[in-house]
Amino acid sequence: MAQPPPQPPYGQPGPPWGQPPQGPAGYLQPPPPAPRPWRQKSKGVTRPQGALLLVIGLALGGFNVYSLIHEHRYYPKAMIFTPVAILLGLFGLSVGAPIDRQTGHLPLWVRLGYGASIVFGLGLGIVAVTFVGC
């Protein structure tokens, strides 16, 4: 049976037969992060844009009510998009467009709020057209 090579005493630097093996320098440092693909920064509805959208929705609804009362005509497309404009304008006016500093995009809760405002507004518009058209 062969004897193991002699070891240096405890606390002495390195083995007597040479330096310990080391890997390439890349193993000591983490690799640089991969570049992110270029993507345009998200822009949401700012508060002035939300106020403008709210005013446009109220004016569109007022015009539709006026034409319904005085001319006995209504505009179905205006009835569908009026609640969308009003709800999206209210959400934009109350929240604004907060941008996440790390990603440069809108947070998820803002995008979900925009989507919910649009879907709920379209639902209200379809219900309004259905009831007025009866």
Residue 72 lies in a domain: yes
What's the domain range around 125? 47-133
How large is the average pLDDT for residues 2-8? 69
Task: Tell whether 103 is covered by a domain.
Answer: yes
Distance between CA atoms of residues 103 and 57, nearest Å: 32
Structure tokens at 33: 């992060």
User: Residues 102-121: pLDDT tens digits?
Assistant: 877 889 999 999 999 999 99
pTM of the model: 0.67
Q: Domain for residue 21, yes or no?
A: no
Please count the other Cβ atoms lying within 10 Å of the Cβ belonging to residue 51: 15
pLDDT band at 22 (very low <50, low <70, confident <90, very high): low
Residue 37 lies in a domain: no
Q: What is the mean pLDDT of residues 74-96?
A: 93
Q: pLDDT class for 29, splitting at 50, 70, 90?
A: low
In a domain, 1, yes or no: no
- The tokens of 26 are what? 């890349």
The CA distance from 128 to 83, in Å, is 9
Instruction: Quote the number of domains for the chain.
Output: 1
